[in-house]
Amino acid sequence: MAVRIRLTRVGAHKQPAYRVVVADGRSARDSRSIETLGHYNPRTDPIEFAVDADKVKAWIAKGAQPSDTVARLLRNAGVLPATKA
């Protein structure tokens, strides 16, 4: 099973907010997740992003791969090391 750390959309119509979840990579975007790690709200100023860094690192150690968007958010939050360009 390919496990991914990705965003799941929640919120009302045209008012998106997201949960950072661990899910099977083959499942649909808003389907069942294994564990919720945090949340992301791009509509606030400044953008609200909160995750449990210990849980994220534990899942990555187990082999979970973050999506591109989640990886960017984690790097900006200082959870993942910055990559060299």
Cα pseudo-dihedral 33, 10, 36, 4, rounded to 10? 50
Q: Is the separation of the CB atoms in 70 and 37 below 8 Å?
A: no
Q: Does residue 58 sit in helix, strand or coil?
A: helix
Q: What φ, ψ does residue 55 adopt, rounded to 5°?
A: -65, -40
Mean pLDDT value across residues 41-59: 94
Residue 41 is predicted with a pLDDT of 96
Res 84: pLDDT: 57
- The domains located in the chain, with CATH, are 3-77 (3.30.1320.10)
pLDDT tens-digit profile of 12-36?
999 999 999 999 988 888 888 899 9
